[in-house]
Structure 1
Amino acid sequence: MATKNLSEYDLASVPSAEQMKFGIVVAEWNYEITGALAQGAMDTLIKHGAKESNIVLKHVPGTFELPLGGQFLAEYTQVDAIILIGCVIQGDTRHFDFICDGVTQGTTDLNLKYNKPFIFGVLTTNNEQQALDRAGGRLGNKGDEAAVTAIKMVALKNELK
């Protein structure tokens, strides 16, 4: 169980996002949770200097569709990084395992195929309360963490160019 607040980080360690462009792909399934995660990501990107006009926000039906939605953004927009936001809650069947495996592998493949940061902002929890705790609840917001990761990865790539 996570004991760290996902929204706490050293502000000074985050580069300016003023010149960066971001894509965010959000799963509609479990939208109470994914919508809160997306809002956290948007707010954090803007807090660190990203212009709202440099953030492309798109929705896909579910978490399994996140990698393809991310690929569409990579191919049809000029974003520097793409944040994939979803939530998979354990149920009574193995469906959870298949969805989690697929989106994880899909995200890894996209990072390598496009040489561009695709950030895994997907909650994989045992129950709804654990997801709510990580979507702006007592453990902060995973969307904040995903946005900070995206900024840092774009900065790293730019530094190494």
Structure 2
Amino acid sequence: MATLIEPELRGAGLRVGVAVARFNELFTKHLLEGCLRELRRHGVADADITIAWVPGSFELATAARELVEQRHVAVAVCLGCIIRGETTHYDHVAQESARSIARVALETRTPVIYGVVTAETVEQAINRCGAKAGNKGADAGVAAVEMGRLVQTLRTHPARGHRARKASERPAAASPPTS
């Protein structure tokens, strides 16, 4: 029989770090408002939320890592807005911010939610930051509660017959065969 793990969307006691890009603040402040609204709606207390403003989306990963390692948050959320301009800068920032945020999650074994809006136009950004297409910051807030609880559940209730291990307890990689 399959085991189903569906954590409750219950944020009480969940420590959340939110990194927000100041660049395109006209948009990111709406992402932050949506994120905070959903965190609070799901029971995360203001005392359990740490917000760190950074210059731009490229710096989000650094802030997320510090929130995880220094503030010991259970989950981090990265909020930013990257709008295509006339150069390739957009492509570099969008790709590297996504890649580095994912790397922080994998290396710290902590959920890091990617709440960065990438838009071709200002109109798209407006729509995705709280207008017609919803608020991606709000979506990130809900995902933070869900992923924070999921990881806590998986770590506190390991598979039967198995003990949960820390990353430092992982078995060493097998040595390559010698000829």
State whether TM-score is above 0.5. yes
1:116 is aligned to 2:110: yes
* Paired residues for 1:36-51 under 5 Å: 36-51=30-45
1:87 is aligned to 2:74: no
Alignment partners' CA distance in 1, 2:72 and 2:43? 18
Match of 2:14 in 1: 20
Alignment partners' CA distance in 2, 1:73 and 1:49? 20
Deviations 1:113-146 (A, max 9, x none): 0000000000000011111101110111001100
The structure richer in strand per residue is: 1
Higher normalized contact order (CA 8 Å, seq sep 6+, divided by chain length):
1
Identity between Structure 1 and Structure 2 (%): 32
Tell me, yes or no, if the aligned pair for 2:8 and 2:149 is still in contact at 8 Å. no
Query: Pick from 91, 104, 128: which aligns with 1:97?
Result: 91
SS of structure 1 residue aligned to 2:130: strand
Match of 1:150 in 2: 144
SS of structure 1 residue aligned to 2:47: helix
Q: TM-score, normalised on structure 2?
A: 0.81
Give the aligned residue type for 1:99: V
Give the aligned residue type for 2:11: A
Structure 1 residue runs of 4 or more that deviate by more than 2 Å after TM superposition: none
* Paired residues for 1:66-77 under 5 Å: 66-77=60-71
Deviations 1:91-111 (A, max 9, x none): 111000100111011011011
SS of structure 2 residue aligned to 1:58: strand
1:31 is aligned to 2:25: yes
Tell me, yes or no, if the aligned pair for 1:14 and 1:48 is still in contact at 8 Å. no
SS of structure 2 residue aligned to 1:137: coil
SS of structure 1 residue aligned to 2:126: helix
Query: Pick from 55, 65, 71: which aligns with 2:59?
Result: 65
Segment of structure 1 superposing worse, 43-52 or 150-159:
150-159
Tell me, yes or no, if the aligned pair for 1:14 and 1:148 is still in contact at 8 Å. no
Alignment partners' CA distance in 2, 1:37 and 1:99? 18
Match of 2:164 in 1: none
The alpha-carbon deviation at position 71 of structure 1 amounts to 1.1
Q: Report the aligned-residue RMSD.
A: 1.0
Match of 1:141 in 2: 135
SS of structure 2 residue aligned to 1:136: coil
Alignment partners' CA distance in 2, 1:66 and 1:78? 17
Give the aligned residue type for 2:152: N
Deviations 1:22-79 (A, max 9, x none): 0000000000100100110001000000001100011000111100111111121021
SS of structure 2 residue aligned to 1:140: coil
